[in-house]
């Protein structure tokens, strides 16, 4: 289960990169369409953001899975705290998206929080891949069991 934690954090990192990328594609598609046709509708912009929303849902599911696995696998206090922080940032991301729909300037928080999410999951993934796995018990003869 500890190995799955490494892969989940890595998948989340990729999902966040893709999510940011498809948001940029939506923006540039809207600008290109407006340039060619003189304007763009709200529906066209929203449909262009569908992939961003899909990857947002994938990211939310991965964040929840990471949080659950951190505790179920006994990943240690630091990793559990980082997973809880990631869960909080994920919840804030949805709140900031809602705020951005109320006031475009508050949407700034959604973008900044995305950077915080990326940094947090990058750190968590790095820790998951580089921290030695705690050994529960030693084998007779002074040898430690291998994973």
Confidence at residue 40, expressed as pLDDT on a 0 to 100 scale: 86
Sequence-distant (≥ 6) Cβ neighbours of residue 18 within 8 angstroms: 55
Residue 65 has pLDDT above 90, yes or no: yes
* pTM for this predicted structure: 0.83
Cα separation, 69 vs 111, whole angstroms: 27
- Split at pLDDT 50, 70, 90, the class of 1 is confident
CA 59 from centre of chain: 5
Single out the residue of 136, 98, 131, 135 nearest to residue 9, CA to CA. Answer: 131
Segment 71-84, tens digit of pLDDT: 999 999 999 999 99
CB 60 within 8 A of CB 88: no
The predicted structure's pLDDT at residue 52: 95
Residue 58: phi and psi, rounded to 5, are: -60, -45
pLDDT recorded at residue 134? 57
Distance CA 47, CA 65 (A): 28
DSSP H helical ranges for the chain: 2-37, 42-48, 50-72, 77-102, 107-130
Q: Are 11 and 124 in contact (CB under 8 A)?
A: no
53 has pLDDT over 60: yes
Q: Between 133 and 112, whose confidence is greater?
A: 112
Rounded mean pLDDT of the chain?
89
- pLDDT, tens digit (0-9, with 9 covering 90-100), for 101-110: 999 999 999 9
What average pLDDT score do residues 130-143 get?
58
Question: 106 by DSSP, 3-state: which?
Answer: helix
Confidence of residue 131 (pLDDT cuts 50, 70, 90): confident
């Amino acid at each position: 289960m500890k190995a799955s934690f490494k892969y989940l954090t890595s998948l989340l990192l990729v999902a966040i990169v893709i999510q940011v990328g498809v948001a940029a594609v939506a923006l540039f598609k809207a600008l290109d369409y407006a340039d060619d046709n003189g304007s763009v509708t709200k529906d066209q912009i929203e449909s262009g953001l569908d992939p961003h929303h899909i990857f947002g849902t994938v990211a939310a599911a991965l964040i929840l899975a990471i949080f659950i696995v951190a505790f179920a696998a006994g990943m240690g206090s630091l990793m559990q705290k980082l997973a809880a922080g990631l869960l909080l940032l994920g919840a804030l991301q949805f709140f900031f998206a809602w705020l951005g729909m109320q006031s475009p300037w508050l949407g700034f928080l959604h973008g900044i929080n995305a950077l915080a999410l990326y940094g947090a999951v990058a750190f968590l993934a790095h820790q998951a891949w580089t921290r030695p796995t705690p050994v529960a018990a030693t084998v007779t003869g002074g040898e430690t069991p291998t994973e």
